[in-house]
Amino acid sequence: MNKVFLVGSLSPDLDMRITNSGKAVCSFSLTVAFKTRVREETDAIDCVAWDTLAEQIGQEGHGGRRVAIEGRLHTRQLEGTDGQRRKVTEVVVRDIEFLDRLGLARPG
């Protein structure tokens, strides 16, 4: 089974684009906090969404928004501009839930 559930904050640099075949794709990082014995740390996890889900994230997803995502891990190989092959592991997002509401003031 290959399932990933994450809760975190969207990166401010969403990369929304349309492929040559006309599919929407949105790449982003999700900042996830976790506690160790010593301190709280964060990881930035690369994610990608396709089609209508990508469009939704591109429209509603702004940097810092808290989200819960469900997806699967995917590893692929890329060739860099220097000719070196690199492995990239990312979460292919299947579902997203926005946990905050835009436009609502927080109680002070």
Asked if the model's pLDDT at residue 103 lies above 70, the reply is no
Question: pTM of the predicted model, to two decimals?
Answer: 0.83
CA distance 87 to 5: 22
- pLDDT number for residue 62: 83
CA distance 49 to 72: 11
Asked if the model's pLDDT at residue 78 lies above 80, the reply is yes
Q: Annotate 13-59 with DSSP letters as a single string.
A: --EEEE-TTS-EEEEEEEEEEEE-SS-EEEEEEEEEEEHHHHHHHHH
Asked if the model's pLDDT at residue 105 lies above 50, the reply is no
- pLDDT number for residue 61: 86
CATH tag for 4-98 (out of 3.10.20.30, 1.10.10.10, 2.40.50.140, 2.60.40.1760): 2.40.50.140
Radius of gyration of the chain (CA): 15
Taking only the tens place, the pLDDT of each residue in 23-67 is: 999 999 999 999 889 999 999 999 999 999 999 999 988 888 999
